[in-house]
Every structure is written in C-alpha cells, then in structure tokens.
C-alpha cells in the first residue's frame, strides 16, 4: 500500500461525547502524550469556539509540541473558523450535514447554501496556510448527486481532504468501499477521510473497507468511545492493520497501546470491554484443552496477534472443567514436578472434578497440584512400607 495512511484519533472530541465522559486538563494532556507515544499522527480536538476554556485548552495541547498534529473540528461558520485560526492548530476539519434528514431537522440549509457557506471558508483557511478538510456529515444517507455536487465545489475551492462520515452507522462494508473508491477516482489529488459509527456493529469493518477503497485518513477513538455506540476503536483498527497491512504500523510503538487503553478506561470509569481487540483482559487467554495444547506447542495455532508485540503475555488457564492433560502436565512441570503420563491423567481428572465447583485461580491450581502430588507421593510411600 503506497499511500501515506494516517490514523486520526478523535478521543478528545468524539470520545468526550461518550455518555458520562469528562476529561480534565491533566487527563487531556496525558491522552495526547500517550497517543503521541503510540505514534498516532493526527489528533482531533473540539472547536475552540465552544468556550473560552476550550480555546485555552486547545492552545495548551498545541504547546505540548508533540509529533502528532492537532486539528480542530469546526462548523462551517465564520466565527468558528476565526476562533480556530486564533489558535496554533495545524488545521481545521470543517463539517456540514448533507443528508435530507440533517438538512431538514438540523441546520435547515439547501445544498446551494452549504456550498455558499463552505467555499469562502475553505479559501480563507488555505490563504492562512492551514490544512483544511471538509466532511459531509451523514454522507451515507445523503443523495449521491447532492454529495458529489458539494464535493465538486469544495475540491475546486482548494480543500485538501474530503470526509465521508457514516454518522449513524448505517453503512455496510461493501457500500463504504464503493463510495470511497468513487470519490478516490473522481478526486485523485485529494485525500479521503472516513469516520464510522458503530450503531449496527460495523465500525471497524467499515473503516477497513474505507482503507481498501482508497481512504488515506481513518478516524478512531481509544476503546471506540463516542456518541451513542461510538466509532471504530484504535486497538480494533490496529489489530486489522497488524495482520493485513503491517507496513502501515512501522511508525507505531504498539507496546504503549495497553497503557493508553487502560488510562482512557479509567478516565471514563469503565472496564476495558471483554471483546476489545488486543487489550481486553482475556485477549490472549486460552482455556479449552484442545486450544491450550496447540498454543503450548505453537502459539500461532490459535493466535494471529503476538502478545509480545504489544508488551503483553499470553495466559493459559488450567483451573477449569474444560482443561486438558497437556495444560495440566505443562503447569506441573513448571512447578518442578516430573509426572508420568498416567499420573498426569489422574491429576487432570481430579483437577477437573474440583473445577466443577467453580473456576480456579492460578494460585488455587498450583496449590491443588502440589497438594495432589504430596498426597500421591505419601500414598505410594505408604504402599511401599506395607509391602
């Protein structure tokens, strides 16, 4: 993939629209530092016009002098753009709703009015020497002719990138790839950004489809937090790139990803979801006997992601009723016990019977194995004495 693919993380903008989320100044700074440490090249922040405090917060984030470039998410309004230009942000991400639903019930503007508002602002931002993107909010419910009419105008005005947000999570991967490819071919000198919501569970799949259709900017948030069901998660997108497009991740330090996910989870008072790629507590935990035997022989049997590449370790759970002789024997050997095959089989049967009362922790498993060995040894010694 020859394009320069950029992840745009919008945790500080989209992410703070997550129900109950609030980031203090200290937390915002730390999130930016962690994103920068991971290697995310672009970070989106709220519009500086939101409040004097927000404008100062944006200035403070820019002053961190990160490698990541800071861009502001701004309405197509003169005052909003001027407030953003009054800060040192690298660029401005303009947006305007283009679907019938948003034009009817949100801003009430016709397509001609959208163009009338957007074009002068794009030209002004470019004259100021800043990066500018124009995003057609709710692109996948927008009439195609309307959408392309707006894009034709903003591209002629000098916009550097156009955005295709799936604002309500309605799109399917093939649909995303088709529309992105159409825009890539129609506007060959302009970047394409995709922002996918997760209302119907396709955010990561749609973001990958956008990448494969030709998008060069992909929006994420840490843990996928955001409005309603959120958007594509950073760890989810990275997991796909790790397998299918590893060359994109050469600039990234993936070992910092678990720390970032855990920090944001703590900030918004949630646990990392059990099904979160890479950083979920059980992401590299193996339990069933068939699985554990294969993984202990060769981890690639059941792992397509190497936990060590993310600064993590795999875990083989032995204390369950689904455990197998191979896992039990392996753990016994780690504890320094040399057991014959028959002994391992007997130990496994005993351990599984005990686990029928409930799963056992690693400490409980170790205690059980050592106690079983001691009892087994004592029984053998007693038989020898009687003989």
Catalytic residues, by residue number, are 291
The answer for 97, left when phi > 0, alpha when psi is -120 to 50, beta otherwise, is beta
Q: What is the maximal distance between C-alpha atoms in the chain? A: 102
Please give the backbone phi and psi of residue 2, each rounded to the nearest 5 degrees, phi first. -85, -20
Sign of CA dihedral 177, 181, 182, 187: positive
């Amino acid at each position: 993939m020859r394009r320069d693919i950029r992840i745009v993380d919008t945790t500080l903008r989209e992410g703070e629209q997550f129900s109950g989320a609030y980031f203090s100044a200290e937390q915002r700074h730390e999130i930016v530092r962690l994103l920068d440490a991971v290697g995310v090249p672009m970070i989106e922040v709220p519009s500086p016009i939101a409040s004097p405090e927000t404008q100062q917060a944006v200035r403070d984030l820019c002053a961190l002098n990160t490698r990541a470039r800071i861009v502001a998410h701004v309405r197509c309004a003169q005052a909003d753009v001027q407030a953003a230009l009054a800060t040192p942000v690298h660029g401005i991400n303009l947006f305007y709703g283009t679907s019938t639903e948003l034009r009817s019930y949100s801003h009430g503007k016709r397509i001609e009015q959208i163009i009338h508002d957007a074009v002068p602002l794009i030209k002004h931002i470019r004259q100021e020497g800043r990066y500018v993107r124009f995003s057609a909010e709710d692109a996948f419910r927008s009439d195609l002719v309307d959408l392309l009419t707006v894009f034709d105008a903003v591209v002629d005005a000098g916009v550097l990138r156009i955005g295709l947000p799936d604002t309500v999570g309605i799109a399917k991967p093939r649909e995303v790839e088709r529309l992105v490819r159409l825009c890539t071919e129609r506007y060959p000198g302009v970047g394409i950004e995709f922002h996918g919501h997760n209302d119907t569970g396709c955010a990561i799949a749609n973001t990958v489809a956008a990448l494969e259709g030709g998008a060069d900017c992909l929006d994420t948030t840490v843990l996928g937090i955001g409005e309603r069901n959120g958007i594509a998660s950073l760890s989810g997108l990275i997991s796909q790139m790790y397998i299918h497009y590893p060359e994109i991740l050469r600039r990234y330090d993936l070992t910092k990803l678990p720390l970032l996910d855990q920090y944001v989870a703590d900030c918004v008072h949630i646990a990392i979801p059990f099904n979160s790629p890479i950083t979920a507590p059980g992401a590299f935990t193996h339990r069933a006997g068939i699985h554990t035997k294969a993984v202990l022989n060769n981890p690639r049997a059941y792992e397509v992601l190497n936990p060590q590449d993310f600064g993590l370790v795999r875990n083989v759970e032995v204390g369950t009723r689904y455990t197998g002789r191979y896992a039990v024997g392996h753990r016994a050997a780690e504890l320094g016990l040399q057991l014959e095959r028959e002994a391992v089989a007997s130990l496994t049967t005993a351990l599984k019977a005990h686990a029928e009362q409930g799963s056992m922790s690693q400490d409980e498993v170790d205690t059980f194995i050592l106690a079983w060995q001691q009892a087994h040894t004592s029984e053998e010694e007693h038989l020898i004495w009687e003989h």
